[in-house]
Chains A and B, each alone.
Chain A
Amino acid sequence: MTAAKIIYNEVKGYHTFVKFLIILVSLGALASLVRLVFGLGVTTNLNDTFPWGLWISFDVVTAVPLAAGAFTLGAIVHCFHIKKLEPLVRPAIVTGFLGYSLVSIGLLVDLGQPQRAWHTLVYWNPHSPMFEVSMCIMAYTTVLFLEFLSPVCEKFGYHVPLRLLRTIEMPLVIAAAAISTLHQSSLGTFFLIAVDKLHSLWYNPLLPLLFWISAMCAGISIIIAEATMSHKYMGQPDESELLETLAKILPYVLTLYLTVRLFSLFALTEGPLFNRPSLVALFAVEMLAGVIAPLVMLMNESVREDSRLRSTAAWLVVFGVVMNRFNVSMFGMMEEGTMYFPSVIESVVTVGIIAAHVLFFVLIAKYFPIFEHHPETVDYSLPDTFHKTEKGHAPKGAVASKA
């Protein structure tokens, strides 16, 4: 059989949903090609009034906090040393790596001169939050790639690099947390320059801090939602017990967020707050459904223990963070009486990017040992010699004692 035929047969065996995703991704790729050929002006609804639209609001400003699970969980597991959560780390890293790779693609599609993206590496402007974020995203994508190499090396049985990767694991985890803190917050710094443009419901000097805390909320929630779904739909192991622990941590972070949010809203905001009904409505939905409702839910033990309710609360938090990023980067920036709505091409590209995320996650989980990784079976000590790792915790699903 030729390679093409093998691939064809493999793809033919996929679930219909996966095939559907492949179509969406292809459409997205086609749409970005159309955008590159015909230009931003023709293919998008962007103009001088709305220089930033859906691609910045979702593909960059929202997608980055949604990929925050990797650094949050890495720090919880390795730095705070809550080791039992470790089986969740790998899916989180895969999500993070995919998320950041797709953020980079989204950013490239949005740039007017994508072929010059490397200019940020050459012409430094440390006063620009955009410079800071692009440097961090490049650095962090590299870190995530290195972390992602572990399951890849295990799959192919490359033992020496695996040992090496394990040696630098802790520095990578700490670098991930430090770099993420910087760029998650700097995404908020973006909008500090929009004085008199961003509405007072969202504009305040603590915006960077709020972006960082809410990114952690989003990261933890995405892990809960994702693990629940991959158990339900992909037949992966049930990690309910671990998710309960995460669901116990989440309310603390949410409370911290709510406190800082309310403090900055009432103590540090200068302009009028409730002068535009539509924005007040958006704000109310964001806060009530996205922060307060899940916080109240997760404070009940019965909710944390119930897989369905727990995942509902997690989705609410994700919804709240998405709302928040759209309110800050899109709705809150609109002048009264102006309106932006994404074009077909813009929407198809963004849908393609979301579909690509799900698709690659499913495929990686299918071919690489992501969920079967149970670290209690692995020797994490620094290698004294470069002898081979024990054959066993490598091939997918084979060993992994269900401890």
Chain B
Amino acid sequence: MSEVTNDFSKSKAFLIDMTKCTGCRGCQVACKQWNQLDAEKTTFFTGEGYQNPPLMSEHTFTRIKFRDYEKNGQNEFAFYKEMCMHCNEPACASVCPVGAFKKTKEGPVTYDAKRCIGCRFCMVACPFGVPKYEWSKAFPLVRKCTGCYSRIKEGKKPACATTCPAAITYGNRGDMIKEASKRIESRPEKYLKKLYGAEEAGGTSVIYLTALPFDELGFKHVTKRPLPSYTWQALRLVPGIFLTVGGSLSLLSWFTHRKERIKKEAEQREATGKTPKEES
């Protein structure tokens, strides 16, 4: 996983321009419809402003996070569409003991519910806090945005990207990054001069453009290094350590037992003819 440096510029990615988002939450509705997710009973004003529902959950794979702020003496809204980032090198896929998560070549990170044993390591590992658990069930599974993998394979765009009137562009990751840089260049006064997702967690398939600094919008601060490399640097040593410990202990025991063995052989030679000696 970590040795193979795949080229991800041809895999599909979302370019989400938060400055164009109007907070209509059509993406939330489209996502619920396509994935047939249950409605959640929520109330307004549990999050900031009109944000609803307050958090992603087993029933909500994406949500628009609201941010109230003041610009030129006027109240303004800023938004952040939270969803699975579909990392190039996903932490969830690397930690899953049964390999239920898979980075597809098309881009989305998919989850095979039939394999899952429910250990929830993916939830601990994900730097973006994306995988959610079916806490309402007796035998729960993990739920998360699928990147509408079934639609992608049919040549369609994901449900949220299809519905979104302005903010989401969907295409090859390389093109999306180029497009994002172009927008920053042409409107430098409008955009923050950084892309979220270009390098985060080693690069993701969701790229964000914003006007406000990322942490103000609720984006998580995430390392630039692919997360699987953090565990792999220790795990790759496993076979070596096994052989080293096993081998050196065997050798050590051979030496420490040598004296005893020699003594025993001598005794046995003395005692030949007699019954095998029992020590006491």
Contacts and interface: CB of A to CB of B under 8 A. Distances in A.
B138 interface: yes
A81 B257 contact: yes
Counting chain A CB atoms within 10 Å of each CB, the highest count among B57, B91, B93, B279 belongs to B279
A173 B246 CA distance: 10
Interface stretch (B32-40, B74-82, B129-137): B129-137
Nearest to A175: B246
B266 interface: no
A22 interface: no
A30 to B, nearest CB: 17
B133 A51 contact: yes
A99 interface: no
Do most interface residues of chain B lie in helix, strand or loop, or is the interface mixed? Answer: loop
- In which size bucket is the chain B interface? 35 or more
A131 B231 contact: no
A7 interface: no
A236 B56 CA distance: 57
Please classify how large the interface on chain A is, using the bins under 10, 10 to 19, 20 to 34, 35 or more.
Answer: 35 or more
A113 interface: yes
B172 to A, nearest CB: 27
Contacts, number: 195
B139 A113 contact: yes
Interface in A273-298: none
Contacts of B121: 128, 130, 190
The interface residues of chain A, by DSSP majority, are classed as helix
- Which of A119, A192, A193, A207 counts the most chain B CB atoms within 10 A? A193
Interface stretch (B10-18, B63-71, B111-119): B111-119
Contacts of B117: 111-114, 116-117, 119-120
A306 B95 CA distance: 47
B252 interface: yes
A335 B239 CA distance: 35
A363 B249 CA distance: 33
A240 to B, nearest CB: 25
A174 interface: yes
B127 A80 contact: no
Interface stretch (A87-95, A155-163, A180-188): A180-188
Given A48-B133, A130-B95, A178-B246, A123 B115 contact: yes
Given A127-B94, A196-B223, A112 B139 contact: yes
Most buried by A among B96, B127, B231: B231
Contacts of B136: 39, 41
Given A192-B231, A196-B221, A80 B256 contact: yes
Contacts of A112: 116-120, 133-134, 139-141
Interface of A: 36-41, 46-48, 51-52, 75, 78-81, 110-117, 119-120, 122-132, 134, 170, 173-175, 177-179, 181-182, 185-186, 188-190, 192-197, 205, 207-208, 333, 376-377, 379, 381, 384, 390, 401
Instruction: List 10 A-B pairs, minimum CB-CB distance, nearest first.
Output: A112-B118, A41-B135, A81-B256, A39-B138, A131-B97, A51-B123, A125-B99, A130-B97, A51-B120, A178-B246
Given A39-B140, A47-B135, A194-B124, 4 more contacts: A46-B135, A112-B139, A186-B234, A196-B223
